[in-house]
Every structure is written in structure tokens, then in C-alpha cells.
Amino acid sequence: MTTALTRRRFLIGAGIVGGALVVGYAFSGNGENTARQRFQKAGPEGGVALNGWVRIDPDGRIAVALPRAEMGQGVSTSLPMLLAEELEADWRMVGFEQAPRDPLYVNREILVDGVPFVPWDDGVAAETMRWAYEKSASLLGLQATGGSTSVRDGYYAMRQAGAAAREMLRRAAAARWNVPLSSCIAENGTIRSGKKSARYGELAAEAAAIALPEPPRLKDPAQWRLLGHSPARLDIPAKVTGKARYGIDIRLPGMVFAAFRPVPVFGAEIAGLDDSAARAMPGVKKILAVPGGIAAVATTTWQAQQAVDAVEFTLSGGAEDLSSETLLETFSATAARWDGHVFREEGDIGTALAGGRKIRAEYRVPFLAHACMEPMNCTAWIHDGQLEIWAPNQSADLAAMVAGGIADIDNDKITVHTPYLGGGFGRRADMDYVEIAVTLAHAMPGTPVQVTYSREADMRHDRFRPAAVSLFEASIDEQGQPLGLRNSIAGPSVVKSFVGRLLPGPFITPDKTTAEGAFDKPYEFPALQVMHETVDTPVPCGFWRSVGHSYNAFFFESFMDEIAHAAGRDPLAFRLSLLKNFPRHRALLEKLADGWNAPKAPGTGRGIALHDSFGSIVAQMVELYRPDEQAPIRIAKITVAVDCGYALHPQTVIRQMESGVIFALSAALHGEITIADGQIEQENFPDYEMIRMADAPPIEVHILNSGARLGGIGEPGTPPLAPALANALFDLTGRRIRRMPFGDVFGYA
Amino acid sequence: MIEIIVNGKRHSLDASPDMPLLWALRDILSLTGTKFGCGIGACGACTVHVDGAAVRSCSFTLDEARGRQITTIEGLQQNGRLHPLQAAWIAEQVPQCGYCQSGMIMASAALLADNPAADDNAIDKNITNICRCGTYGHIRKAIHRAAREMS
């Protein structure tokens, strides 16, 4: 990363914390220390918040405000670690509490990845746009979890907060003992000076009154005790005893339960309904039209499910002729026109493709559902002029915005609680479940209402990973050197669909996510052109773990393999030859080279893929085994090499790589949402199958700490798997896979 | 009224005999450690023990549960001590989002009770629950670890 960018980030972080610990600096506008006060009030009597991020409780426990949702990615441990490192806290005393909504906790990083520039472009235009996007994120006030940004975003702010608190404690000790500040050492939850020592809890009240004259200095990473290690996750004990509370587990006095049945045809409206049978069912309290369908409210979820299924309705309008097969044909024809938005153009592609040997291929992927294990749900309660929401969500601010509009309640009278998320994967950035719960709570003021989607509703009322088609043309010379490559992608835009549903105003700029993972590949082709044409469809599309990378990596890295084989080159060596200026990428491939070049036993095949996303680079090798031609093909092993700059909690990096691989493997082998007559054809796990224990291959992860700017880790493990797997299949069988899913090749139905 | 015994405690429920046990546990008894995942017995998130055997409670009616010994994740600890599988789950740092893990642990506990030396084949065959975070490799390790502890 550039020095300018580092310094700017540092200054923003310092401004927040160093500004006399008056948080909300430049963002809240009123200069009030609201987050700090709120965090203090949320704790026990006698607890002292030293800023909006950290509170020291009377029993000596350190409570860290968690600004992001814990959805499995481990932020409830890694973010407190950042703070505890600088605070010199006793890690055994550190815990976390979900932060309330406050401008302090805005995610500044989340829009930065959205700029349509290649990640290594640090020119003025790219940097200006990144700065503008970061600024917008601050001003928009998006307290959001996604885009693999949580640790990147917290990296400065949370360390600064810990350092500021540490300095306040040191100054408090120096004043109390009347000793020089320089003699006061912070270590393991204690300040010492000579023979004097005091625990943080004893100094907290005095420290709270201290205003720091300057931003605190951060530790030299060489002095880190916690970061770079893998302490046990703070959320795990509650997750093995059934005590962890997910959104679906919220229980309130007098609460009623609701079920949701979506309108089955995209864009259709309910013309008439007969709910007489449903209303007569035991326990049923209400049947109501809600955004996207109808809902039934009853004494238990099961009764509500029975009732909502008993409602009879007729539909009008809607895209009743829509089929995914036709849509894919439309995308294919669109891609073949070669007139989409050009995201990247280098060299003279026309001339390059006029000579040499031509290679051409078309790739396709289907729509996908998220299928979080915890179905979408939300609890809402309107009482005393206030609205309280418990929503497993990826953006508390969007939840409040949507809820306020429906219940006509001011934003400052809305409290959003974010319990544990039973999976997110981008699905919970959408707010349909909040709309439904608040609509019901609004109709039943004073009564807490919890709506839980059935698995069928969850699958059919998803915001889908878009289907897409990608067309490639490349040419190689007689020596097998590539002359040029052009790529035309077509399909829906996630951001356009999302903004259209949730945010005011039209979406006008090209959606970078449609072409990410294609236009920003590092390979040094003499000529390169990448374009994407957005095709609007009635199918709502949403963020799905790694977004555009989830399909463009499959397209691009499979086609790279095709070029290598057409040129008679080794796929790994071929990639290396096109990465002369990319030492981090080369290092990852070289890490896999020993395994790649090892002698191959009969009946085995290997495939490789390399992909950048969310600031990190991942290379994967898949090894397949088939004892004889009649036997099913098995995945023997998957090897991952990852460079995310620096692994702050190495076990979490490893687990996220494994998680990304299994998630991608489910999609590669089984994932397919199809549409016929305007309706989603899948509805539950038997027809939208997942990888299970017996199919989960061994995964080996290697971390390369390059020291480059921090990258994300929640998503980058996902994109390279499908192409590495498809390339391995080609190696083993000679059959080129150009469509997902391809579980049939492995003998799955 | 339907009588069921959950974690050693007797409950009289005023509910339909057709109601799946899952919803009685969650919505009537507020034992929310047992999770809803699919409603058709396909994912295993709702696994509990009925007379010691692993049962998917979304597809097991109150009528079938009448008078039988039901154990949920909340009842797996004995005398305040974690079950060896729960301890192994912590030692191996298994959960990510954690939503499926109650069901995974209950399914694994039933497996080890039946087959204390369960090998990889037995694990593949018996642990058919879905984990979207992909923690399978660590679940396998944790089961082996608990089996060693229990032997």
C-alpha cells in the first residue's frame, strides 16, 4: 500500500481516539461523547468507559465494544485482540459486548473495495476515489459487517482506542503516586512504577478524567504479545452449551411467533385471499399482508407455519414466463455482442487477437441461494414510543432505516440488537426479515413479534447470487506466448438490485462487483480487455460470499488453464511467467510448486488456481483420485496458500480458508437455483444440497506473511476452489468443465 | 395435556400431539439451544436424544415423545461438568457461526454412546448434519479426542 494511504488512515484513527477521547469526531457533528456514555451505561454499576471502545468493570473485567456482527468469522475475538494488545490487558479478563448504533462504529473500509480500479493501482485517480468512498462510508454512517472488512477497518481504530486507554491509565498512576510518567509501565492489566503497582480497575475512575494532550503512540509490531498468536475464541464456550443466543432464540414476555409465506412468482401481487380456514386454526392471532407475501401470527412458530400454509390466494401479474434457462441464453447473447462497460483495457486488443492461434470459450454459472443454517428471522417490539429490534443482521443502520420507515418512528427511538448470526454470507445485508417483523409489530403494538422463515421461504425468498455468462477470446503465438485476451461477461448487477431495494436514489455508476475477479487479474497480457454488460431481471440479487469473485474466478482461472494447455505449457509455470511484477502472487504459487511438481500416481489429477480478492491473495491446489475408470472420483486433498498481509490470529485465517473452500465446494458440486414459470424450483436441502462430513476433503492451509497491507479473510478462500477443482478434473479426465455445478462428474445426482 | 420428560424434568404441555418436539422445546419451554434448520429432518440442526438415541426433533411429534426421556444440549452437562464432547469442541476450537453445533454435538454424543471407538467410517456414516461454515474436519478431530477421553 502507499505511504499516503497509511498516513491518512492513521490520522483518521488518531482523530477519533486522540480527540480527547471525544468519539464521533467529525461524524456525529455534535461533539458529544455519546458512544462512551452509552457504553458506560450498558455496563455494571461502577464500570468505567475510557472511550467508546473499552470499559473497565469493578471486577477488573475489560469489556470491548464489538462494532461488527459475529457470524462465525471470529471478529468477536480478533477485534478485542487489537484493543487488548495496545491496552496491555490481561487477555483472560477481556470480553466483548455488542456495540450499539453510533457513528463511532461506522465501517469506513466497506466501500473502499468498491472502486473500479485494480488493487495495485495507487495512482491519483484510484486513490482519490478510494478516499471518496471511505468518506462516503463515514458520512452514510454504515455500521455494517461485510466485504471481509472488519479487521481491516478496526486495525487502526481499535488499537488506537486501546493505546489511548493505556496512556490514560499510565497518567492516572503517575498522578496518584506523583512519579514521572516515564516510570509507569503498563503490563498485563497492571501499571507499575518501582515497587508501586495498581490493577487497571483500581485506576479506571481517575483515568477517565484525563484528557490526552496528543494521540497515543502505537506499539512496534515486534513488541506484540497477542497479535500473531491464536488465543481461544471468546464465543466458543457459549456455542457448545446451547447458551449462545442467535436471533431466532430471542424470548420476551408475551411474545408471539410468526411465519412468512412469500409470493411465489417474481413480481406478482396477491389479488385476493381467503384466510378463513387459517384464522380458525388453534393459536392463530393474525393473518396479515407483509412486504413480499403474507404472514401468520400465532402462539408458536409451528402453528403460524400451519396457518400461513392454509391461506389461499390468487395472484396477478408477475413474471410468470420467467425461466433461468432463458435468462442464461439472454446473458449469452448479450456477452457475445462485446459491447458492455469496459472495466479494463490495455494494449491493442484488436491487433493482438487478429494474429496467432485463437482460443475461445463460453462459461456459465447459475443463480445461488445463501442457505444460512439459521433461517432469516427478526423480532420486533413497539413499546413506550420506542421500537426495539433483535435482528441477526449485517447492517444495524440499514435495519433501523428500514424499520423507521415502516413503523413511522424516529431513528433515535429505534434500538437494534445484533445477536449472534447463524451464518451471514452476505444474505443478512438485506433487510426483508426486518420489514416483515416491523410490519407485524406495528400491527400489534405492545406485543413482541418474532418472525422466522421456514427453510422453504428462506430459499425461495432469497436475494440470489446472480447467474452469469462469460465469453473469452485469447490468442497465442507459435512459442505458446499469449498475445492478448478479451473477456465479455453478462448478468445482473448485485449492487443495482440491492440499492434499488434498500437505498434512496438511482444507482448510476458501473457496478464493480460484476466484473471483479476478471478486470483486476494481475496477469501481464500484452493486450487485455474486460467488459461487463448488466442485464436487468426480475430476480432480486444480493451479496453472496465473495460476490463477483465467486463466478469470475471460476471463469478466468479455468480459461487460464485452457490457454496453458492449448499452449502446451505447465499451468503453474504459465501463470508464473505472467506475474513478473507480482512477487506476492509468485510466492504463493511457488509455495504450492513442490506438491504440484511431485510425481503423479496413476489415477490422480491436479488443478491449480490463483485469485486476489478483498485485499488478499489465495492459491489453491486440488488433488483428485480415481483408482480405476469405473470408480467415482474423490477429492484427495486441497492445499491452500494465503497471503493476507499479516495473520493477526493465524487459526482464524486457517479456519476461514477452510470454510471458504467448503462453501465453494458445495456450490461447485451442488449449487444451482433454477427458475421455471417465474418460480424458484428448489425449496430445501434435498434439492439444494450441501457438502457433508463424508464429502469433506482434508484441507491444508499455508499462511505467507508478506507484510503487505492487511487483506480480508472471510471471503478470499472461496473464489479459487471451483476453478482449481475443474482444472484438476481436466487433468484427470481430459474433460473441460465450463459450467457450475458439476457434481455429476463426481457421481452426485 | 401431553407429558414429556426433558433433561430429567417432567412437563405437561397443552399442545397438539402433532406438534413437532422441536417447537415445543423452543417456543413453549424456551429451550432454545436446539435449533431449527430445515423442518424436514434433512440438516440435523435440531438433533436431540430420545431415550439416548439421536432424533431430529423437527420431524418427531409430541405424540411420539410422550413419556420418553428427552435430552437437549442444555441437559448434556452432568453435575455442572461439560460432556467430554463439549470439552473436546472447545479444545479443538470447532465452532464458527456455531448454529449447527448443538445438533452436531448431540449426534456425536449418541454415536459415541453407541460406538465408543467410532472410526472415520462410522463418523462419516452417522454424522450427516450440515455445517455451512465447513467445520467438518475439526468436528471429526473433536469426536476422536472425546472418544479418547471417555475410554
Residue A388 placed within a domain: yes
Contact flag A236-B98 (C-beta cutoff 8 Å): yes
Residue B66 CB partners (closer than 8 Å, separation 6+): B2, B3, B4, B17
Of residues B7 and A139, more confidence is placed in: B7
Q: Which residue of B has its CA nearest to A372?
A: B132
- Establish if A459 belongs to a structural domain: no
Query: Does a structural domain hold residue A458?
Result: no
Q: Which residue of A has its CA nearest to B98?
A: A239
Q: Which of residues 9-38 of B touch A (CB under 8 A)?
A: 15-16, 19-20, 23-24, 26-28, 30-38
Which member of B20, B43, B99 has the closest CB to residue A246? B99
Judge whether residue A117 has pLDDT over 90: no
Minimal Cβ distance to A282: which of B16, B136, B140? B16
Q: Which residue of B has its CA nearest to A687?
A: B42
Give the strands of the sheet with A482-491, arranged side by side.
Answer: A341-346, A528-534, A482-491, A468-476, A357-365
**pLDDT classification of A30: cutoffs 50, 70, 90:** very low
Set of chain A residues whose Cβ sits within 8 Å of the Cβ of B130: 373, 685, 690, 692
- E strands in A58-113: 62-66, 94-98
Chain A residue whose CA is closest to B59: A302
Map grid coordinates 431466532 to a residue: A248
Write out residues 361-400 of A within 8 Å (CB-CB) of B.
371-375
Pairwise CA distance, residues A544 & A542, whole Å: 6
Residue A557: enclosing H or E segment and its boundaries? helix A549-566
Q: Cβ A301–B93 below 8 Å, yes or no? A: no
Inter-chain contacts counted by CB atoms under 8 A, chains A and B: 178
Tell me the nearest-neighbour CA distance from B102 into chain A, angstroms: 6
Upstream peptide bond of A741 is cis (omega within 30 degrees of 0): yes
Let me know if residue A77 belongs to a domain.
Answer: yes
A406/A529 same-domain check = no
Report which secondary-structure segment, H or E, holds A675: strand A675-676
Do the Cβ atoms of A643 and A583 come closer than 8 Å? no
C-beta of residue B76 within 8 angstroms of C-beta of residue A240: no
- Distance between CA A73 and CA A717 in Å, rounded? 12
**For testing the chain A interface, which of B36, B78, B104, B108 should be mutated: the one with the most A CBs within 10 Å?**
B36
Q: Which of B28, B99, B125 sits opposite A373 (nearest CB)?
A: B99
Condensed to tens digits (0 to 9), the pLDDT of residues A667-700 reads 999 999 999 999 999 999 999 999 999 999 999 9
A699: closest CA among A640, A656, A624? Answer: A640
Q: CB atoms < 10 A from the CB of A221, how many? A: 11
- For residues A34 and A55, state if they share a domain: yes
Q: Is A365 left (phi over 0), alpha (psi -120 to 50) or beta?
A: beta
C-alpha cell at A40: 458506560
Could you tell me if A117 and A259 are in contact, meaning their C-beta atoms sit under 8 angstroms apart? no
Percentage of chain A with pLDDT > 90? 87
Which residue among A209, A240, A271 closes a domain?
A240
Residue A586: phi, psi to the nearest 5?
-65, -40
- Asked if A126 and A167 sit in the same domain, the reply is yes
Judging by beta carbons within 10 Å of its beta carbon (0-12, 13-18, 19+), is residue A131 exposed, middle or buried? middle
> What CATH number corresponds to the domain at position A391?
3.30.365.10
Same domain flag for A426 and A486: no
Question: In Å, how far are A268, A332, B5 from A720, measured between CA atoms?
Answer: 38, 23, 49
Give the minimum alpha-carbon distance from B12 to chain A in angstroms, rounded to a whole number. Answer: 16
* C-alpha cell at position A56: 473497565
CA distance B133 to chain A (A): 5
Chain A within 8 Å of B108 (Cβ-Cβ)? no
| Interface predicted TM-score (ipTM) | 0.99
Last residue of one domain, picked from the residues A430, A453, A476: A453
Whether residue A193 contacts residue A182, with contact meaning beta carbons closer than 8 Å, is answered with: no
Q: How confident is the model at residue A27 (pLDDT cuts 50, 70, 90)?
A: very low
CB B74 within 8 A of CB B33: yes
- Report the sign of the C-alpha dihedral through residues A79, A427, A550, A369, in that order: positive
Alpha carbon B113 to its chain's center: 13
Residue B115 CB partners (closer than 8 Å, separation 6+): B122, B126
Domain-terminating residue out of A220, A240, A260 = A240
In this predicted structure, the answer to whether residue A329 has a pLDDT above a threshold of 50 is yes
The H or E element spanning position A109 is none
Is A475 found in the same domain as A446?
no
Closest CA to B45 of A331, A377, A374: A374
Of the candidates B47, B117, B100, the one whose C-alpha atom is nearest the C-alpha of residue A72 is: B100
What tens digit of pLDDT does each residue of A448-479 get? 999 999 999 999 999 999 999 999 999 999 99
Burial letters A668-677, b for 16+ CB under 10 A, else e = bbbbbbbbee
- Diameter over CA atoms, chain A: 83
User: pLDDT tens across A248-293, in order?
Assistant: 999 999 999 999 999 999 999 999 999 999 999 999 999 999 999 9
Contact at CB, B36 and A301, closer than 8 angstroms: yes
| Nearest Cα residue to B92 out of B132, B35, B149, B45 | B149
The three-point CA angle B16-B17-B21 to 5° equals 95
Site from A373, A393, A456, A715 to mutate, B interface, most B CB atoms within 10 angstroms = A373
Q: Are residues A438 and A403 in the same domain?
A: yes
Are the C-beta atoms of residues B9 and B75 closer than 8 Å to each other? Answer: no
What's the mean pLDDT in A179-201?
98
A499 pLDDT above the threshold of 80: yes
Question: Is the CB of A74 inside 8 Å of chain B's CB atoms?
Answer: yes
* C-alpha atoms less than 13 angstroms from C-alpha of B123 in its C-beta half-sphere: 25
Residue A50 — φ and ψ, nearest 5°?
A: -90, -20
Q: Are residues A597 and A546 in the same domain?
A: yes
Q: How far apart are CA A570 and CA A567, in angstroms?
A: 9
Determine the pLDDT at residue A479: 93
Which residues belong to CATH 3.10.20.30 in chain B? 2-75
Name, in order, each residue with C-beta under 8 angstroms of A168's C-beta and a sequence gap of 6 or more: A21, A50, A207, A208, A210, A212
Contact A690 B132 (CB under 8 A): yes
User: What's residue A4's pLDDT?
Assistant: 33
A239 to chain B nearest CA, in Å? Answer: 6
d(CA A200, CA A57): 9
Q: Distance from CA of residue A152 to its chain's centroid?
A: 13
Residue A247 lies in a domain: no
* Three-state DSSP class for residue A145: coil
Q: Please say if the pLDDT value at position A203 is more than 60.
A: yes
Q: What is the pLDDT of residue A297?
A: 98
Residues from chain B that touch A661, judged by Cβ atoms under 8 A, are 134
Query: Cell 492451509 identifies what position?
Result: A701
Rounded to 10 deg, the angle between the A721-733 and A650-669 helix axes is 60
Q: Is the pLDDT of residue A138 over 70?
A: no
CB crowding A430-446: b at 16 or more within 10 Å, else e: bbbbbbbbbbbbbebee
Q: How many CB atoms lie within 10 A of CB B51?
A: 9
Tell me what pLDDT residue A296 has. 98
Query: Is A36 part of a structural domain of the chain?
Result: yes
What is the span of the domain harbouring residue A36?
A: 3-240
Task: Report the residue from B35, B43, B89 with minimal CB separation from A240.
Answer: B89
**Domain membership flag for residue A619:** yes
> Is B143 an 8 Å CB contact of chain A?
no
CATH 1.10.150.120 domain span(s) along chain B: 84-150
**Residue A103 has what pLDDT?**
87
Task: Identify whether residues A214 and A134 lie together within a single domain.
Answer: yes
Question: Which residue in chain B is spatially nearest to A370 when comparing CA positions?
Answer: B132
User: Which of A233, A423, A658 is closest, CB to CB, to B137?
Assistant: A658
Cα(first)–Cα(last) distance of chain B, in Å? 42
Q: When comparing pLDDT for A212 and A6, which is higher?
A: A212
Fold of B84-150: DNA polymerase; domain 1 (1.10.150)
Tell me what pLDDT residue A142 has: 80
Mean pLDDT throughout B13-28?
Answer: 98
Binned at pLDDT 50, 70 and 90, residue A140 comes out as low
* pLDDT for A540: 98
B116 phi-psi bin (left φ>0, alpha ψ -120 to 50, beta other): alpha
Q: Are residues A624 and A700 in the same domain?
A: yes
A72–B96 C-beta distance less than 8 A: yes
State the CB neighbour count (10 A cutoff) for residue B151: 9
Do A383 and A276 lie in one domain? The reply is: yes
Each residue's pLDDT tens digit, A513-568: 999 999 999 999 999 999 999 999 999 999 999 999 999 999 999 999 999 999 99
| A425 interface with B at CB cutoff 8 Å | yes
Q: Per-residue pLDDT tens for A614-669? A: 999 999 999 999 999 899 999 999 999 999 999 999 999 999 999 999 999 999 99
**Quick check: B38 and A239 CB within 8 A?**
no
> Which of A27, A12, A2, A10 has the alpha carbon at shortest distance from A128?
A2
- Contact list, A377 vs chain B (CB under 8 Å): none
Q: Is the pLDDT of residue A125 over 50?
A: yes
Alpha helices in B5-100 (DSSP H): 21-23, 62-65, 84-91
- In contact, B33 and B25? CB cutoff 8 Å: no
Question: From CA A244, how far away is CA B99, in angstroms rounded?
Answer: 9
Instruction: Report residue A388's pLDDT band, with 50, 70 and 90 as the boundaries.
Output: very high
3-state helix, strand, coil in chain B (%, to 5): 40, 15, 40
Beta strands in A528-633 (DSSP E): 528-534, 604-613, 616-625
Tell me what pLDDT residue A109 has. Answer: 84
Question: In terms of domains, do A421 and A343 share one?
Answer: no
Report how far residue A119's alpha carbon sits from residue A116's, in angstroms, rounded to the nearest whole number.
Answer: 9
- How many domains is chain A partitioned into structurally? 3
B87 pLDDT higher than 60: yes
Please give the pLDDT value at position A185: 98
* Residue pair A168/A208 in contact by the 8 Å Cβ criterion: yes
CB A51 within 8 A of CB A23: yes
Backbone φ and ψ for A458, nearest 5 degrees, come out as -60, -40
User: What residues of A are in contact with residue B98 (Cβ under 8 Å)?
Assistant: 72, 235-236, 239, 244, 420, 422
Task: Please list every residue in chain B whose beta carbon sits closer than 8 Å to the beta carbon of residue A664.
Answer: none
Which of B28, B117, B115, B109 lies closest to B72, judged by CA?
Answer: B109
Q: Over 80: is that where the pLDDT of A19 sits?
A: no
Q: Kindly identify which residue of chain B lies nearest to residue A74, measuring between CA atoms.
A: B96
Output the pLDDT for position A112: 74
- Options 3.40.50.300, 3.50.50.60, 2.70.70.10, 3.10.20.30; CATH of B2-75: 3.10.20.30
Interface of B with A in 59-98 (CB under 8 A): 72-74, 76-77, 82, 86, 89-90, 93-98
Say yes or no: A226 and A312 in one domain.
no
Report chain A's mean pLDDT, rounded to a whole number.
93
State the Cα torsion A562-A568-A572-A576 to the nearest 10°: -100
pLDDT at A749: 67
Please state, in angstroms and rounded to a whole number, the distance separating the CA atoms of residues A699 and A562. 25
A363 — pLDDT class (breaks 50, 70, 90) = very high
Measure the CA angle with vertex A594, ends A593 and A596; round to 5°: 60
